[in-house]
C-alpha cells in the first residue's frame, strides 16, 4: 500500500508562487464588501466582487439580517427535511417563485449545493446530462453525483450540442445544462438555439442563473427573461451570494419538480438549512431589487463604461455585454505577477488560469458593481494600463 499523502510531494505550484511573491489567493478583507475596500491594511478599488448590485452594504438588507438573528437565533441546527424549516424559508421560496414567474422554488444552503442537489436528483443512472464545456464546476460535480451519462459540447457550439442530443437513446431521459452568463468570459448562453434543439429532441433544460439574477432580463429576472423564454426553460438555478447579497441558492420550476427534488435530493435532505440571517437578507435584497429596477440598468451602464474606458487605454478585453469584463493576459506567471502588482497599486482583480480558462489562455477577471463610479473606473484603468506596460517591457512583449 502506498501512502495516501504521496500526492502532496508533487503539489508544489502554490509554494512556488509564494516563493516568487505572486501567490494571488486568500487576501484578507478588513471592511465591508463595497466598491472600495480595505484589504490587508490598504485601500483597494474592488473590481473583483460578485456583489453585482452592491447590496451587501444596503441598510435594509443589514437590518433584516439583524432582525432575523434576534427572532430566530444564529442557526437552524437541522435540515429542512427535519427540524430546520422556518416560516422565513417558506416565505423566501414563495417570493422567489413569484419573482421568477415559476410555480415553486426551493432553497439550498449554498449555490454549489444547489446545482449538486438539482442535477443529482433529476438525472438518474440511465439518463443523460449534456453540458457546455465552460459550465461552472458545481454543474460538473452535480453530473458526477447523479451517476448519469455526461456529454459535453464545445463552448456555445450548437452543432456540438445537437450532435450530443442525437446520441441520446430514445429510451433515456436527457437534461441540458448551461450557465446563463458564463462566469469567466462574461458571455451569455445561446438560449434561443438551445431551447429550439431541446424541444426538437425532447430534452429538458436547466439554466444556471448564478451570474444572471439581478443582472439581465426584465427587472433582473435572468437569462430566460432576457430572451423572452421564461415558459421554455424547465428549471432555473439561482444563487444568493451575488446580487442578493447573502449566501444560499434556489431551484425555481414547477411545483412537481420542486416537490420531487425536496424528497430525493441528498444535498438538500442531508444539509442543515439556510441560517435565518442569510434567508432574511436574501429576501430583503429581493425586495430592494423589486423596488429598484434601475439597479440592473445602472450595473449595465457602468459595465459598458468600463469596457469603453479599457479600450481607450488599449487594454484588450473579451467582448461581452455583462458586468464581467475579462482582460486578456499572457502566461500564468505574467498574469499572477500583474495581479500582484495591481493589488499593490490599489486595484483588486481576480486572475484566472487554466483549467478555469481554456489551455493557453489566461485572464484578469474584472467584475463590476452597480455602485462603482466612473471616477473609480478611470482611476483603475490608468493603474491597469501603467502596470501592464511595465510588465510588457519586463517580459519583452509588444503590447
Residues marked as catalytic? 183, 211, 242
Peptide bond before 56: cis, by omega within 30 degrees of 0? Answer: no
Q: Choose among 330, 377, 365: nearest CA to 185.
A: 365
Question: What is the phi/psi pair of residue 267, to 5°?
Answer: -60, -30
Location of C-alpha cell 505572486: 22
Do residues 309 and 283 lie in contact, with contact meaning Cβ atoms separated by under 8 Å?
no
DSSP H helices, the chain, are 7-10, 13-20, 59-72, 87-99, 111-122, 137-146, 158-167, 191-201, 223-227, 255-264, 266-269, 276-291, 294-312, 332-345, 374-395
Residues in the chain: 399
Give the whole-angstrom CA distance, residue 293 versus residue 196: 30
Do residues 88 and 283 lie in contact, with contact meaning Cβ atoms separated by under 8 Å?
yes
Do residues 88 and 274 lie in contact, with contact meaning Cβ atoms separated by under 8 Å?
no
SS3 353: coil
Q: Choose among 292, 317, 321: nearest CA to 304.
A: 321
SS3 300: helix
- SS3 string, 65-78, reads HHHHHHHHCCCCCC
Write the burial class of residue 115 (CB in 10 Å: 0-12 exposed, 13-18 middle, 19+ buried): buried
| Torsional sign, CA 294, 32, 304, 186 | negative
Do residues 79 and 270 lie in contact, with contact meaning Cβ atoms separated by under 8 Å?
yes
| Torsional sign, CA 149, 153, 158, 159 | negative
Amino acid at each position: 500500500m502506498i501512502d495516501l499523502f504521496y500526492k502532496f510531494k508533487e503539489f508544489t505550484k502554490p509554494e512556488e508562487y509564494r516563493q516568487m511573491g505572486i501567490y494571488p489567493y486568500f487576501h484578507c478583507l478588513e471592511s465591508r464588501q463595497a466598491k472600495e475596500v480595505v484589504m490587508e491594511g490598504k485601500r483597494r478599488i474592488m473590481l473583483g466582487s460578485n456583489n453585482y448590485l452592491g447590496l451587501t452594504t444596503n441598510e435594509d438588507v443589514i437590518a433584516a439580517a439583524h432582525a432575523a438573528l434576534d427572532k430566530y437565533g444564529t442557526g437552524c441546527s437541522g435540515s429542512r427535511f427535519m427540524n430546520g424549516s422556518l416560516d422565513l424559508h417558506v416565505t423566501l421560496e414563495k417570493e422567489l417563485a413569484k419573482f421568477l414567474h415559476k410555480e415553486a422554488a426551493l432553497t439550498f444552503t449554498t449555490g454549489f449545493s444547489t446545482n449538486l442537489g438539482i442535477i443529482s436528483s433529476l438525472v438518474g443512472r440511465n439518463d443523460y446530462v449534456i453540458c457546455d464545456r465552460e459550465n461552472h464546476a458545481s454543474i460538473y460535480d452535480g453530473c458526477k453525483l447523479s451517476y448519469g451519462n455526461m456529454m459535453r459540447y464545445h463552448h456555445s457550439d450548437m452543432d456540438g450540442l445537437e450532435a450530443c442530443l442525437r446520441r441520446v437513446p430514445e429510451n433515456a431521459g436527457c437534461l441540458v445544462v448551461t450557465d446563463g452568463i458564463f462566469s469567466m468570459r462574461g458571455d451569455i448562453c445561446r438560449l434561443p438555439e438551445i431551447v429550439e434543439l431541446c424541444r426538437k429532441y425532447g430534452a429538458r433544460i436547466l439554466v444556471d442563473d448564478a451570474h444572471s439574477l439581478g443582472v439581465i432580463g426584465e427587472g433582473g429576472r435572468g437569462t430566460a427573461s432576457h430572451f423572452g423564454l421564461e415558459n421554455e426553460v424547465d428549471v432555473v438555478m439561482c444563487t444568493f451570494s451575488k446580487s442578493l447579497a447573502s449566501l444560499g441558492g434556489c431551484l425555481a420550476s414547477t411545483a412537481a419538480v420542486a416537490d420531487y427534488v425536496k424528497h430525493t435530493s441528498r444535498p438538500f435532505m442531508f444539509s442543515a438549512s439556510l441560517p435565518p440571517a442569510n434567508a432574511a437578507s436574501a429576501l430583503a435584497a429581493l425586495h430592494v431589487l423589486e423596488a429598484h429596477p434601475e439597479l440592473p440598468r445602472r450595473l449595465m451602464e457602468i459595465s459598458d463604461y468600463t469596457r469603453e474606458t479599457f479600450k481607450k487605454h488599449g487594454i484588450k478585453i473579451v467582448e461581452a455585454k455583462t458586468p464581467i469584463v475579462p482582460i486578456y493576459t499572457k502566461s500564468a506567471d505574467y498574469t499572477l505577477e500583474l495581479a500582484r502588482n495591481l493589488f499593490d497599486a490599489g486595484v483588486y482583480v481576480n486572475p484566472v488560469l487554466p483549467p478555469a480558462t481554456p489551455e493557453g489562455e489566461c485572464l484578469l477577471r474584472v467584475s463590476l458593481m452597480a455602485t462603482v463610479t466612473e471616477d473609480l473606473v478611470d482611476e483603475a484603468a490608468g493603474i491597469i494600463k501603467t502596470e501592464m506596460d511595465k510588465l510588457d517591457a519586463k517580459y519583452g512583449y509588444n503590447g
